Amino acid sequence: MTKSSILGYPRIGANREWKKALEAYWAGKLEEEAFTAELKRIRLEHLSKLQASGLDWIPVNDFSLYDHILDTATMFGIVPERFAYNGGPVSLQTYYGIARGTTDATAGEMTKWFNTNYHYIVPELTNVTVQLTENKPLAAYEEAKQELGINGKPVIVGPLTLVKLAKGYHKSDLSQWINKLVPVYVEVLQQLQAAGVEWVQIDEPVLVTKLNEDELASLQYIYETFAKQVPNINILLQTYFESVEQYEQVIALPVQGIGLDFAQGSEGNLASLQRFGFPSDKVLGAGIIDGRNIWGASLTEKVALLDKIVTFTSNEKLVVQSSCSLLHVPVTVQAETNLDEELKNALAFADEKVNEIVTLTKIVNNANRAAFATTLQENELRYQSFQTSANRRKEEVRAAITKIVSEPIVRNTPFVKRYEQQQAHLQLPLFPTTTIGSFPQTAEVRKARLQWRKQEWSNEQYEQFIHAEIDKWIALQEEIGLDVLVHGEFERTDMVEFFGEKLAGFAFTKNGWVQSYGSRCVKPPVIYADVAFEEAMTVAETKYAQSLTSKPVKGMLTGPITIMNWSFVRDDLPREQIAYQLAYALRQEVEALEQAGIAIIQVDEPAVREGLPLKEEEQATYLDWSVKAFRLTTGSVQPSTQIHTHMCYCEFHDMIDVIDKMDADVISIETSRSHGELIHSFEVDTYSKGIGLGVYDIHSPRVPQTEEMSQMIDRALRVLDPKIFWINPDCGLKTRGQAETIAALKNMVEATEVARARYTSSLV
């Protein structure tokens, strides 16, 4: 019979209990014993829910203390040498030190998990000794079995993916690192085999990218070794996020099952099945329920897809599952009591997706399809009602965009002349200092917003409070000595949600939280209809802040690609069209800021690269329309208006041409955790527009010293033109405390003054 499964379940809890436990432990409000007990309670609650759902294969070891890649790395003793690790199980203090930094050691680099909105901690392989410190999959399996009687499916990141995502080694040494890791993986699998584990899910998402000959050889070596040394355990080699690139080689591997993505990767994987078939001796994990978006499935369409897939295998060799871990979606729709009923009926979060999988498995296993006619009919009625709703279309928006994008979208004045005009107007010093936009969102700020949302405060009371915060932080910025100021974004819950609330076409969940990194959870907006500008969104606060100071205050917007990539997006329109709708709406806001006298406008695009398709042949097209969307947003301003943008986690050498085409006057890049790597890319590639490299890491509570930032500045100025170099933190300061923010910014300004004294004479 066909089985049902998922690849992973959200860690955070229906009410973010996981987040609250982590932050209480970090704050010293929860002792380690109580902390681990609370995490166990949350973990078992999740497993109990999956058990009650009727799911056949329940994943274990998908739960994490922070990040599953960090879990895997520390399990194998991969700890950066600056943490003075001496072997054995990695303590919680060291584990969280790698994740968040300590007083004496910087945190591990953080970057995006493929093209999702989740971040992982990058393993560092420099000067580490690979060893099995503890068998985490075994502990998770035994806990589930002893506590709940669940014969779970342990999940572990595969060795090829782990090494490919790591840093600190030369790429030509990949096979050497695989050779070091395979024995400890074998040790893990042998212990699982001895414990009676039937199936292990080994995640190798790198298989949806193109591998070279050495990588393919390493892949073959890994799974041949596993087959020889652990012959009595079944391995489900799991891929996701796209179709498998080198399908023939993958299906020939000596494993007992292969998981394929039939959501994002449906077209490619179906084509491979049709061309090459599927081995009759292997289980096919069919990921037909989208694990990355929140839309409910048409069960009728999914049954038809399963009927097509099963022609290449058999019911006995089929597993109906999610396309990827459900980590990327909220926990349950049940709490969403404020949504329009038509929209709510169209949604499926993690729990609802599990139910879809279980229902589809029952249908596949029942020879009498007529028994499910009512279920299918009711589902299709809800599905089609939403798909055809007239509320989702704005013809005037579509017509306006069609007209605009048919013409070239460019700023008519070249950068060099624009920058001269801007400098004449702004009169900024050498190495202008600024921040990325947000200042600390204190408990007082959050409380005030909540009181206003609950209508316990009037609009006037809330506006007075926001003005008081702006007053305070404009004064603090002037006292610190910053050159370009910001209003602080105290009225904004989130850089995407804020704009979505003010644009047509968005809906907002009450409890639709997902993990972004560590304990940082976000509640992505839902783009369910055509997007349209309704009224000015940021002008009032920015104009008020500018009235308090003679220094320029930046207008702060989130860019169209970032809003799209950080939202749950409708799936009935091409993403390109959604990006243009967002850009057209934001263009009207940019024009409103300029008309209000704001001379610097920052349009942040931290998420451009993370939306890059995993398939190389699709990347150029995506980048072309991403650039076009940014220019649609910013291209109508006067030459004297300075356009800034901000980007995160950017492989600059891969993106330099794209960034240049965006034609922003100044770009700031989040780089403090990988500063050296980025500087190296400037030694290879040149960049001629204004640029600011983040000189300290805002994700860590540590306050870097002046000398530390001076070293970063000096290294950057070896390869960048001092006349267009800006100095800033690497990201917004929303999550930091006031005292540490002020201390760090004072050190940054002090480091800037040192640099000015050193370079001013040489530029005269």
What is the amino acid identity at position 11?
Answer: R
| Helices and strands (DSSP H and E) totals, the chain | 27, 21
Neighbouring residues of 229: CB distance < 8 A, sequence distance ≥ 6: 186, 189, 190
What span, in angstroms and rounded, lies between the C-alpha atoms of 10 and 636?
Answer: 43
Q: Which residue reads 């040192």 in tokens? A: 754
657 is in an annotated binding site: no
In the sheet that holds 600-604, the strands lie side by side as 554-558, 600-604, 642-647, 666-669, 690-694, 725-728
Three-state SS at 456? coil
CB 204 within 8 A of CB 239: yes
| Cβ neighbours around 33 below 10 Å, total | 8
648 is in an annotated binding site: yes
DSSP calls for 537-563:
SSHHHHHHHHTT-SS-BEEEEE-HHHH
What span, in angstroms and rounded, lies between the C-alpha atoms of 86 and 134?
Answer: 14
Q: Hey, what long-range contacts does 386-395 have (CB within 8 A, 24 or more apart)?
A: 386/342, 386/343, 386/345, 386/346, 387/572, 389/342, 391/342, 391/529, 392/528, 392/529, 392/530, 392/570, 392/572, 393/529, 393/530, 394/504, 394/505, 394/529, 394/530, 394/532
467 is in an annotated binding site: no
The CA angle 313-287-40, to the nearest 5 degrees, is: 125
150 is in an annotated binding site: no
731 is in an annotated binding site: yes
Tell me, yes or no, if 699 is annotated catalytic.
yes
What span, in angstroms and rounded, lies between the C-alpha atoms of 529 and 355?
Answer: 26
473 is in an annotated binding site: no
Strands 257-261 and 554-558: unpaired
324 is in an annotated binding site: no
In the sheet that holds 526-533, the strands lie side by side as 503-507, 526-533, 568-569
17 is in an annotated binding site: yes
Given 487, 644, 675, 699, which residue is catalytic? Answer: 699
449 is in an annotated binding site: no
What span, in angstroms and rounded, lies between the C-alpha atoms of 563 and 579?
Answer: 9
Neighbouring residues of 520: CB distance < 8 A, sequence distance ≥ 6: 735
650 is in an annotated binding site: no
What span, in angstroms and rounded, lies between the C-alpha atoms of 116 and 112?
Answer: 7
521 is in an annotated binding site: yes
610 is in an annotated binding site: yes
3-class DSSP string for 241-296: CCCCCCHHHHHCCCCCEEEEECCCCHHHHHHHHHHHCCCCCCEEEEEEECCCCCEC
User: Phi-psi region for residue 153, left (φ > 0), alpha (ψ -120 to 50) or beta?
Assistant: beta
Q: Which residues are annotated as a binding site for L-homocysteine?
A: 436-438, 489, 604
Q: Which residues are annotated as a binding site?
A: 16-19, 112, 436-438, 489, 520-521, 566, 604, 610, 646, 648, 670, 731
Q: Which residues are annotated as a binding site for Zn(2+)?
A: 646, 648, 670, 731
Q: Which of the residues are catalytic?
A: 699
Q: Which residues are annotated as a binding site for L-methionine?
A: 436-438, 489, 604
